[in-house]
Amino acid sequence: MSHLLTISLVISALHLALPILMPMLGGLISERSGVMNIGLEGMMLIGAFSAVLVTYFTGSPWLGLVGALCSGVLSGSALALMTVTLRGDQVVASAAINLIGAGLTAALIPVIWDIDGLTPSVAKIPSIHVPFLEDLPAVGRIFRSLSLVDYICFALVFLVWWVLFRTDAGLRIRACGESAESADVAGIAVVRTRFFAVVSSGVFGALGGAYLSIVTLDMFQASMTQGRGFLALAAMVFGKWRVWPGALACIAFGFADAIALRAQILWRGIPHELLIALPYVLALFALATFVGRASGPAGVGKPFTRA
Amino acid sequence: MTIDTTAPTSDLASRRQTRMDPVAMADAMGTAGDETRSPAPQQVMPRLIAHFHRASGHFGGQVLTFILTIAAALVASVPMIWLAGSDLWLTTTALFGGALGSGPAIAETMVQMIPLLIAGLAVAVAFHASLFNIGVEGQLLFGGLVAGIVGATVNLPPVLLMIACILAGMIGGALFALIPALLKAYRGAHEVVTTIMMNFVAVAVSEYAVAPSGPFVASDQPSATDRVPEGTQLPIIWDGTRLHAGLLVALAAVAIVTWVLYRTPIGFRLRLMGANQGAARASGVSIERMTILALLASGALGGLAGAVQVLGVYGRFYSAFSPGYGFDAIAVALLGALSPIGVVASGFFFAVLHAGSVPLQAIAGISREMVGVVSGLVVAFVAAQPAMLRLWSGWRKPAVDDRAIETGAETPPAAEKTASMEMPS
């Protein structure tokens, strides 16, 4: 055990938590506005792919990040168009995003690079470090391993919490999620608010994907997100649709992932195929035990049409 | 098919239909009951089911929707063909020639259709209960694994062993759906999230079982179980091809699912719950029990798809035997408008895509992954169908308000009267 719980475990847990944390925020915003978004997995894949694509052709990972965010706007708009504007079924429409995301990214790799499965390496987002924190004893190593993008991601958690729960705009979004009719009567533009919320969930999903492809790794691989978009939804449910508990759940998943990776090296007796399933089993276990009966915003899943 | 086949010919007939039809019944009871009684806020599917019910009011409409959806999805994938540097004619001939051009090609298409058809039924059964079983892929994998293990280890006469394998596969699939079912019924956990988690668990378990040091790996083949004994495989029904008796199993499954859904009280309760949970609860249906039952049935069908594939095509379990049948099954079920007969038609369409994708990659240079894109597009167009129908009726009857259009031209007069009395939404 002493070899398992080290500072480097904390570091890898944090790095593995971020690509779950970002889509969790996206799912949270979307569901708080009343649109169920199970399409985060597909949005992450499209984001991860776009990041690598733009980085490959421009040479700049920062432009790649911007490209990923733009792809998030596109995939978010596609979902918003189907669910908010056309009032289609939210679960079915977002399942379509997942299928298209997984299929399209895998089909485009051979079209662009003439190889199957994974892209060549591209430049990664460079690490930019913060001087004072890194000199601290013990925890300094944690700060040394975090790059600017990590800090931005953690800041985004705070930002989402602040916007959703401390501003007028957040109140409007949450009102649309609880009762679109009441929100409409109160003069809130329900359709516009939900559209915005779904688009921003696409952006967060794409950011999570880009984190995997150009921060953690330096390439895109078909279905590389490995269900993180769904783990994000599970984390959101554990957090009962609140930002901080949801973020904690993501970090718990990060630890499960990190422990699974580490245990593969430390204890050879345990088959690693089964260890890979650890975060998913943990998620199911948590759903079965810790969380009370899950209940999200009252208006989730109900399309809004003005009477 | 079935309850909603014929357009009402007389007022009386239509009233009788209203009483018999859970969807119309749910319509008549309105959504108010749903909102006040349902503890789960994420009841999304009733609208979709109601939409399918209306769209399938007459056979012609159903066929038209089917063809338009396929056409829209295919047209939307044309840019990919250009991106891949191929031309339209070459692609079309490669796809259809590869899938339907000769006897063996047609047989191969039917082979592809078997798992798609059974898995599509699995998704459709859950959808009828307003449950989205996105975990059919996992149930299919695990069902196939259990069938493979039983076939390789149990000592029985061949034909009995074949039946035992199939039953074991169905039980395996159902067990894999049990955890999401219990979580949904008693904890309110959304089945989409839990069944997806189970997919990853299924992949992990099946890879572990046939890993180099796994408990069930074959001595002569990595990532597979031992071959089932001679005679345990499903017999070939078209000599010289791979077409096996799984086709008959699939068609029997279609008939049984149709009968249970539309001709038995349990099927009625299942569809009533899917159409309006509040109405179902009010008429004495146990939502918890029905939820578990529907997901178990769906899982058993998923497991059946896996077992049939393992016994019919390979004669052993391979950890990578499914190229995502369980995910394409979602598109199969939705394109078939959840009707078992519709699932046969859409299963055939996706089988053509699967069978044609191999020559497509070889001749036109288009990745096999495009099948996934087309499924996604089909699902997207199905999601957008209600809106398109609304637009269409809006053009035809510009003066009628939106709610009345949504209630649909096919709604019997009795239900329409009630609908106009309900609270404006």
The C-alpha of A137 sits at a distance from chain B's nearest C-alpha, in angstroms, of 39
A295: in domain: no
Chain B CA closest to residue A116: B367
Chain A CA closest to residue B49: A89
A192: in domain: yes
CB B322 within 8 A of CB B140: yes
The mean pLDDT of chain A is 87
Q: Which of A36, A81, A100, A240 to mutate to test the interface with B (most CBs of B within 10 A)?
A: A100
The count of structural domains within chain B is 1
Angle made by CA atoms A100, A104, A108, in degrees to the nearest 5: 175
- What tens digit of pLDDT does each residue of B126-150 get? 999 999 999 999 999 999 999 999 9
Q: Is the pLDDT of residue A62 over 50?
A: yes
State the distance between the two ends of chain B, measured CA to CA, in whole angstroms.
Answer: 31
Say which residue, B46 or B56, is predicted with more confidence: B46
Residue A161's closest CA among A283, A305, A21?
A21
- A–B CB contacts, 8 A cutoff, strictly below: 202
- What DSSP line would sit under A146-194, residue for residue? --HHHHHHHHHHHHHHHHHHHSHHHHHHHHHHH-HHHHHHTT--HHHHH
The count of structural domains within chain A is 1
Q: Is the pLDDT of residue B246 over 70?
A: yes
Q: Is the pLDDT of residue A171 over 80?
A: yes
Q: What is the distance between the alpha carbons of residues A266 and B353, in angstroms, rounded to a whole number?
A: 45
A60: in domain: yes
Chain B CA closest to residue A178: B41
The single residue listed with the structure tokens 């990923």 is A68
Q: Is the pLDDT of residue A68 over 80?
A: yes
pLDDT for the residue A4: 59
| Chain A contact present for B331, CB below 8 A | yes
Chain A residues with beta carbon closer than 8 angstroms to that of B48: 89, 92
pLDDT for the residue B280: 92
Chain B residues with beta carbon closer than 8 angstroms to that of A101: 376
Report residue B398's pLDDT band, with 50, 70 and 90 as the boundaries.
low
Say if the Cβ atoms of A273 and B208 lie within 8 Å: yes
Q: What is the distance between the alpha carbons of residues B84 and A53, in angstroms, rounded to a whole number?
A: 16
Q: Is the pLDDT of residue B30 over 60?
A: no
| Chain A contact present for B65, CB below 8 A | no
Chain B CA closest to residue A240: B189
The whole domain housing B100 covers 2-421
The C-alpha of A238 sits at a distance from chain B's nearest C-alpha, in angstroms, of 10
Report residue B112's pLDDT band, with 50, 70 and 90 as the boundaries.
very high
Q: Is the pLDDT of residue A78 over 70?
A: yes
Q: With pLDDT > 70 as the criterion, what percentage of chain A qualifies?
A: 92
Say if the Cβ atoms of A287 and B382 lie within 8 Å: no
Q: Is the pLDDT of residue B124 over 50?
A: yes
- What tens digit of pLDDT does each residue of B291-347 get? 999 999 999 999 999 999 999 999 999 988 888 899 889 989 988 889 999 999 999
A299: in domain: no
For residue A62, give the CATH number of its domain: 1.10.3470
The amino acid at B356: G
Q: Is the pLDDT of residue B413 over 70?
A: no
Q: What count of other Cβ atoms lies within 10 Å of the Cβ of residue A228?
A: 30
Q: What is the distance between the alpha carbons of residues B348 and B116, in angstroms, rounded to a whole number?
A: 8
Q: Chain-centre distance of CA B344, in angstroms?
A: 10
Report residue A202's pLDDT band, with 50, 70 and 90 as the boundaries.
very high
| Chain A contact present for B208, CB below 8 A | yes
> Tokens at residue A189, please?
């533009």
| Beta carbons within 8 Å of A269's beta carbon, 6+ residues apart | none
Chain A CA closest to residue B206: A273
Q: Which of B34, B43, B44 to mutate to test the interface with A (most CBs of A within 10 A)?
A: B44
The whole domain housing A239 covers 7-288
> Tokens at residue A250, please?
């993501």
Say if the Cβ atoms of B208 and A96 lie within 8 Å: no
Predicted model pTM = 0.83
pLDDT for the residue A167: 94
pLDDT for the residue B170: 97
The mean pLDDT of chain B is 80
Report residue B81's pLDDT band, with 50, 70 and 90 as the boundaries.
confident
Say if the Cβ atoms of A284 and B373 lie within 8 Å: no
The C-alpha of B268 sits at a distance from chain A's nearest C-alpha, in angstroms, of 23
Q: Is the pLDDT of residue B387 over 80?
A: no
Least confident segment among A36-45, B13-22, B61-70, B268-277: B13-22
pLDDT for the residue B47: 62
Mean pLDDT to the nearest integer, B347-366: 86
Q: Is the pLDDT of residue B43 over 70?
A: no
The single residue listed with the structure tokens 């004072």 is A132
CB B247 within 8 A of CB B308: no
Q: Is the pLDDT of residue B46 over 80?
A: no
Least confident segment among A43-52, A221-230, B61-70: B61-70
Say if the Cβ atoms of A237 and B190 lie within 8 Å: yes
Q: Which of B31, B327, B373 to mutate to test the interface with A (most CBs of A within 10 A)?
A: B373
Most confident of B25-29, B42-46, B305-309: B305-309
Say which residue, B96 or B178, is predicted with more confidence: B178
The beta-carbon neighbor of B189 closest among A103, A226, A237 is: A237
pLDDT for the residue A304: 83
Say which residue, A112 or A43, is predicted with more confidence: A43
- What tens digit of pLDDT does each residue of A240-299 get? 889 999 999 999 999 988 888 887 777 767 777 788 888 888 888 887 776 655 567 888
A93: in domain: yes
Q: What is the DSSP secondary structure assignment for residue B21, as one 8-state letter?
A: -
Q: What is the distance between the alpha carbons of residues B165 and B307, in angstroms, rounded to a whole number?
A: 7
Q: With pLDDT > 70 as the criterion, what percentage of chain B qualifies?
A: 79
Mean pLDDT to the nearest integer, A9-38: 92
pLDDT for the residue B213: 82
